[in-house]
Amino acid sequence: MSAHANYRIEHDDLRVVILRDVGPWDKHLTITNDAEWVVAQVIPTLRGRTLFYYDSEGGLDQLVVKFNRFFRFSACQAEPTEDDMQAWEDKGGAEATDGCWVEPDGECEHHHLSWLIVKGLI
Ligand SMILES: [Zn+2]
C-alpha cells in the first residue's frame, strides 16, 4: 500500500498556488491518484486561490476546487515560452491556460486564468 502523495509548494502568490508532485511514486501515490487528500491538505491555506500542480510527468494541471473539495482535473495547454508571452504583450492580451484569448490579468469564460497570472508575471 502506498503512502499519501508527496508534494512541495512550487509557487505561492496572491492568486495562484502551484504544487509539484515529487514522489518517489513507488512509495507515494501521485497527486493525480490522491487528489481528494491533497486538496484537503491545502484547503486551509488556499483561501480562494487557484490550485495547480506539476504532475509526475512534469505537466501542469489545474485541481478545480468546489465547496472546499476536489472537484475535477483540468489539463493546461503546453506552457508558453518567453517569446510567446512577449508576442502576447505586443498584442495587448494573453492566452489562458486552456488556450482562450483573454486580458493579460483576466480569465476566460471557462474560468481559466491568463498564463501571465499563473506564471506570477502580473
Ligand atoms: Zn476558456
For residue 1, name the pLDDT band (cuts at 50, 70, 90): low
Sequence-separated (6 or more) residues with CB below 8 Å from residue 31: 5, 7, 19, 21, 38, 53, 55, 56, 63
In angstroms, what is the span from residue 1 Cα to ligand 1's centroid? 38
Three cell numbers, residue 25:
511514486
Give the mean model confidence (pLDDT) for residues 90-110.
97
Q: pTM of the predicted model, to two decimals?
A: 0.93
How confident is the model at residue 78, as a pLDDT?
Answer: 94
What percent of the chain shows pLDDT beyond 90? 97
In angstroms, what is the span from residue 82 Cα to ligand 1's centroid? 21
In angstroms, what is the span from residue 23 Cα to ligand 1's centroid? 31
43-73 pLDDT, tens digit each? 999 999 999 999 989 999 999 999 999 999 9
How many whole angstroms separate alpha carbon 77 and alpha carbon 65?
19
